[in-house]
Each structure stands twice: as C-alpha cells, then as structure tokens.
Amino acid sequence: MEEKTQTKEAGHWYKPDGSPAYTYLNKKGEEKNTTLREARKEGWFPSVTAIIDLQMKWALVNWKIDQAILSSLTLTRKEGEQEADYLLRIKEDAKEQAAKAAERGKLIHAAVQNGFEGKPFDVDGTSNFFESAKAIIEKECGKQDWACEQPFSSCLGYGGKVDLRSDEFIIDFKTTEKDLATIKTWDDHAQQLAAYRVDGKQKCGILYINVLTTESKLIWIPEEELQQGFECFKALLAFWKAKNKIKE
C-alpha cells in the first residue's frame, strides 16, 4: 500500500489566511472538531486531501482487496460458522492490518519530519528512514531551506499542509512495501502536488520510503502531468463546492 504518512488530513479545514481550523469552540466554550456546517458558516476551506478523496483511488482499492484475500487465506472458517460471520472476521482482520500499516507510516513520517526540523528523530528505531530520505533529497535537490508541514490556503478556496517545501521544490512523503525499482506515481499524486504548488513554480515530487528496507526513492512529476493534474483538481473542487452548496 502507498500509505500517506502524515495524520489523515481529509477532515481538516483551513482559514483563508492559511492557518489550520481543525477545531472550534461551541457556544458552551467546548472545543469540537470542525464540521462542514461550521466551516461553511465561518468561510473556512477544505483540505486538498478532502477534495482528491472524491475520486476513486484504484491503487488503494486494489491494496484493500489484496489484504482481504490474504486474511481469508490465513483465517479458516470455523465449524458451523455462518458465512456472514466469517466474512466479518475477514474484514476485521484486513482492517487491523491496514491500521498497523498506517501507524507504522506515521512513525516513519514523524522521524523524517523531526529530522528535517532539527529535532530528535529516532522514534522507535526509525532513524535509518530519515538518513535514507535525507541522502536522496540532498542528492536530488542540494542545499535547501526546507519548511515541514507548512500550512497554506489558496484563493481558489482550499488549503492544506505540505510535507516538505522550499522555494524550488515541493516533496510529499509516502511509505510502501513495493519494490522501489518498479514503483510509479499515480494521477492523484500529480493532482495533490499541483494543488500544493500555489504559485505554480516549484518542481514537485513523491518521496517513496520502503518500510521493509528503509530505502528511499524520489520521483519527479513532469510539468505536463502537473498542469493536467491541476485541471482535474479544479474540476473536483468545483464538484465539492456544488455538492456542499458553497457559494463563490
């Protein structure tokens, strides 16, 4: 699976000035997670991830199917067990494996982020992941003034956080168990990076980190694909606004 290694962003909101608006205070002064209703009232923007998630991600769908098949091969059907109960056990087991993969991805992301921010980065023995990522990025990009997890918003009405940004480059981290020699990027990667590139200038790439070998590989998205990706993203954004009755 290509697991997004930062905390799930799909439920996140951003103010027009780019600052996060993940929570709000209700009339009782209680802190609550921001809802569509509250965001619409305040004029806050949805995240890039929320927009891109409107479309089917076939790579993720196929991975989930694979996990269900693997679970069915390891879980034998109990004597007298109803088919519905057996299928439920398979689904729960597959879901548990996905949760473990996501948690592992978060740890690796934290290590890489902390390393670039100059903080302690050996989180549960993950220092090799930062060293691997750093070596590849420095080889490809040279010395840069990097900003990690930098929030932003666009005048088009969306916001987000970028894993790694400089004046010249935008890089998004993803973890995988796949062979890096044959790994590739997907259409939604171009859409995501193009949306992050608010000023339309930086070179954009996906940094794959193999969770089994700690190896890293940086794949740059061609400019033509970024431009096409941004057109697709804007179409998804228009659909999201229409669906959620957001006026321009």
* pLDDT one-digit tens code per residue, 189-247: 999 999 999 877 899 999 999 999 999 999 999 999 999 999 999 999 999 999 998 87
Distance linking the first and last C-alpha atoms of the chain: 37
Confidence of residue 123 (pLDDT cuts 50, 70, 90): low
pLDDT for position 100: 87
For residue range 37-83, what is the model confidence (pLDDT) as tens digits?
999 999 999 999 999 999 887 777 888 888 889 888 989 899 999 99
Task: Return d(Cα 91, Cα 95) in angstroms, integer.
Answer: 6
Contact 180, 136 (CB under 8 A): no
Structural domain that includes position 138? 3-243
Q: Domain holding 175: CATH number?
A: 3.90.320
pLDDT for position 98: 83
For residue range 98-115, what is the model confidence (pLDDT) as tens digits?
888 888 888 898 889 888
CB atoms within 10 A of CB 193: 27
Strand partners, 175: 3, 209
Within 8 A by CB and 6+ apart from 210, the residues are 175, 176, 177, 178, 180, 216, 217
If residue 241 lies in a helix (H) or strand (E), which one and from where to where?
A: helix 223-243
CB atoms within 10 A of CB 20: 17
Burial of 158 (0-12, 13-18, 19+ CB in 10 A): buried
φ, ψ (nearest 5 deg) of residue 98 = -65, -40
Q: Is the Cα torsion angle 73, 78, 83, 88 positive or negative in sign?
A: negative
pLDDT for position 242: 94
pLDDT for position 10: 47
Residue 18 within a domain? yes
Residue 248 within a domain? no
Residue 25 within a domain? yes
Residue 136 within a domain? yes
pLDDT for position 213: 93
Is 70 exceeded by the pLDDT of residue 9?
no
Contact 218, 136 (CB under 8 A): yes
Closest CA to 210 of 121, 97, 135, 132: 132
Within 8 A by CB and 6+ apart from 92, the residues are none
Q: Across the chain, which distance is largest between two alpha carbons, in Å?
A: 64
Confidence of residue 126 (pLDDT cuts 50, 70, 90): confident
Is 50 exceeded by the pLDDT of residue 11?
yes
If one counts the domains in the chain, the total is 1
pLDDT for position 248: 67
